[in-house]
Amino acid sequence: MSHAISTGRGLDEAARALLYTEARTANSFAPTPVSDDELAQIWELARWAPTAANTQPLRVLFVRTDEGRARLVEHMNEGNKAKTASAPAVAVLAVDPRFHDHIPALLPFRPELRDVFEANEPMRKQTGDFNAALQAGYFILAVRSLGLVAGPMAGFDAEGIDKEFFPDGQWHSTLVVNIGHPGENPWFDRLPRLDPEESVSWA
Ligand SMILES: Cc1cc2nc3c(=O)[nH]c(=O)nc-3n(C[C@H](O)[C@H](O)[C@H](O)COP(=O)(O)O)c2cc1C
């Protein structure tokens, strides 16, 4: 395995634009398919990004059949239905509230942290939600890094999706991400970002 981290060079300008400055949120998708291999590669990248105590609370359901998409569209907000219907693939990102059961394997030098989380529901919920949200961000950037576009959406009936796709009550949906190639009129006007003067301070 090569160790890009040791080169000190970073990504070139084009790669930074692909991930950040020129990347856009897609609102419609071309019929170009996205393969299961590409979807697997998204997670193969995203799963390496860091989480607190290596807890990794995010779970992913890839929906890419017509039948699965139709079941999912039912639970999207009205304004989001057409977007998901046009996406060749969709990821339902979910939190596993029992993420701490994996701690003995994921943090072998401190297995007792599992029991600390088991005994402290507020800490468990805060850690799960925060780190799952972090991982959702990593996920979107992984989509972009493969030359695909993402359309993240929080507008859906989470209870409905959970009943439909996670009936054993194990996972709780947190973000739906349309994935594919841009379709017709895929972009809204670019919205402004806060200036660094408004969002960054220095000490
Ligand atoms: C967590 C999250 C939730 C979002 N929910 C929705 C949504 O429900 N419907 C929608 O059309 N866009 C949704 N968006 C898209 C954002 O409005 C969009 O990514 C943002 O305005 C930036 O657009 P740009 O990447 O084209 O600059 C969501 C984005 C994020 C990150």
* pLDDT class of 5 with cuts at 50, 70, 90: low
**Whole-number Å distance between alpha carbons of 143 and 145:** 6
Distance 24 CA to ligand 1 centre (A): 10
For residues 156 and 80, is the Cβ–Cβ distance under 8 A? Answer: yes
Q: Is the CB of 25 under 6 A from ligand 1?
A: yes
**Whole-number Å distance between alpha carbons of 84 and 90:** 7
For residue 2, what pLDDT is reported? 54
Residue 4: pLDDT above 80? no
Closest CA to 72 of 133, 171, 163: 163
Angle at 136 between CA 135 and CA 139, to 5 degrees: 85
> Which string of DSSP letters, residue by residue, matches 34-55?
--HHHHHHHHHHHTTS--GGG-
> If you average pLDDT over residues 166-171, what whole number do you get?
95
Residues in the chain: 203
* Domain boundaries 32-181, CATH class: alpha beta
Name residue 21's amino acid.
T
* pLDDT class of 8 with cuts at 50, 70, 90: confident
Test site for ligand 1: of 18, 25, 144, most ligand atoms within 8 A of the Cβ: 25
The percentage of the chain sitting over the pLDDT mark of 70, rounded to a whole number, equals: 97
Tens digits of residue pLDDT in 27-70? 999 999 999 999 999 999 999 999 999 999 999 999 999 999 99
| Phi, psi for residue 70 in degrees, rounded to 5 | -65, -40
- Closest residue by Cα to atom 30, ligand 1, is 152
For residue 46, the tally of other CB atoms under 10 A from its CB is 22
